[in-house]
Amino acid sequence: MKRVLTFLVISLLNLSNACAESPGTSGCIVLKYPVGARAIGMGNAFTAVASDINSMYWNPAGLFLLEKRGFSTSCIDGVAEDVYYGHIFYAQPVDFRYIGSFGVGIATLQGGEAEIYDGRGGSLGKVTAIQDYVITLSGANDISPYVLSFINLPGEISLGFSLKGIRSTLPTLVTKTKKKYTSTSAFGFDLGVLYKLDSLLFESPVTYSLGLCLRNLGNKIKYGDSGDPLPFTMVFGGALKISLSQDSNITLAVDLNRPNDQNQRFNFGVEYWFRGICAIRGGYKVGYDKEGFAVGLGIPYANFQIDYAYSPIKDLGSDHRISFIMRF
Q: Distance between CA 185 and CA 230 in Å, rounded?
A: 11
pLDDT in tens, 189-234: 999 999 999 887 666 799 999 999 999 999 888 877 777 889 999 9
The b-or-e profile of 172-197 (16+ CB within 10 A means b, else e) is eebeeeebeeeebebebbbbbbbbbe
Q: Distance between CA 283 and CA 293 in Å, rounded?
A: 6
Nearest by Cα to 49 from 178, 273, 240, 185: 240
Q: How confident is the model at residue 284 (pLDDT cuts 50, 70, 90)?
A: very high
Burial label, 324 (beta-carbon count in 10 A; 0-12, 13-18, 19+): middle
- 260 with 229: CB under 8 angstroms? yes
- 291 with 297: CB under 8 angstroms? no
- The CATH number of residue 162's host domain is 2.40.160.40
pLDDT in tens, 138-173: 999 999 988 877 777 888 999 999 999 999 887 766
pLDDT at 21: 44
pLDDT in tens, 218-228: 988 887 777 78
- 267 with 293: CB under 8 angstroms? no
Q: Which of 24-33, 66-75, 307-316 has the lowest mean pLDDT?
A: 24-33
Asked if pLDDT for residue 294 goes beyond 90, the answer is yes
pLDDT in tens, 124-136: 666 767 789 999 9
Pairing of the two strands 101-110 and 131-142: antiparallel
- 306 with 75: CB under 8 angstroms? no
The number of folded domains in the chain is 1
Q: What is the percent of the chain where pLDDT is above 90? A: 55
Alpha carbon of residue 288 to chain centroid: 17
Full domain range(s) for residue 135: 2-327
